[in-house]
Amino acid sequence: MNAVEVRGLHVRYERVEALQGVDFDVPRGTALGIVGPNGSGKSTLLKAVAGLLRPSAGSVRVQGRPPRELPPGTIGYVPQIEDVDWQFPVSVRDVIAMGRYPRLGPFRPFSAHDRRAISRAIEALDLGALADRHISALSGGQQQRTFVARAIAQEPLLLLLDEPTTGVDAATEDSLLQLVRGLVADGLPVLMTTHDLDRADEWFDRLIVVDRKILADGTPDAVLESGAYAGIREHTHTHGHRR
């Protein structure tokens, strides 16, 4: 069974169709890169896989089930950094610990296993020295690592990352790359949107180009050689940015 199966997926916002008839599968232990210009539907696709948006038509299955029917904590989703409220008075450790909440019953205290999962996530993203800092006091790269650590602390069966390398320094990008490749090597499927293709062959096993529909799907090298991404970027720049 594939970890993710998307069939004939359409997603509509009022009168705008953001995705039109998208089909793909993701086996376990695969890193899938999702690329396309601004407004192409990349974030919409991740939200549909996460169960945050309902398809207007077609289906999404994660572990063989619609995402909304999965046990809480099955899917780790890290949105784009600008979607986050930084005024909330919490420490880095508090944010990462929130990753365990979906797996806790109401008012249940953390178990030894929960505490180990939080510690492992802090260590995996090298956040030990920052664990007691307020989240708003961190740099963009440190904040991004914190939100990835929160998703890792969930011990998810699927990890979704929306542009995790935007605005981060080279060292943070390297640490995220090593983390993702390690998780994938352990069997975790990872779907990640990006607009940076410089290291696509290091990040991803497979790449899809999305512009409302899937324009190309294959190994990073094959997709880049196809010119599909370059073609839509050229078209977007020539005709102005779309939302």
Return all residues near 224 (Cβ < 8 A) that are at least 6 apart: 197, 200, 207
Q: Which helix (H) or strand (E) is 59 found in, with range?
A: strand 57-62
Encoded tokens for 166: 């935007």
Q: Looking at 94-98, 101-105, 231-235, which range is the least confident one? A: 231-235
Segments making up each domain of the chain, as ranges: 1-74+158-243, 84-155
How far is the C-alpha of 227 from the C-alpha of 212, rounded, in Å? 17
Which of 119, 118, 79, 125 has the alpha carbon at shortest distance from 99?
Answer: 118
Please report, to the nearest 10 degrees, the dihedral formed by the alpha carbons of residues 26, 30, 34, 35 taken in order. -140
How far is the C-alpha of 25 from the C-alpha of 165, rounded, in Å? 24
How far is the C-alpha of 238 from the C-alpha of 160, rounded, in Å? 31
Q: 179-235 pLDDT, tens per residue? A: 999 999 999 999 999 987 888 999 999 999 999 999 999 999 999 888 887 766 555
Q: What CATH fold (topology level) applies to the domain 1-74+158-243?
A: Rossmann fold (3.40.50)
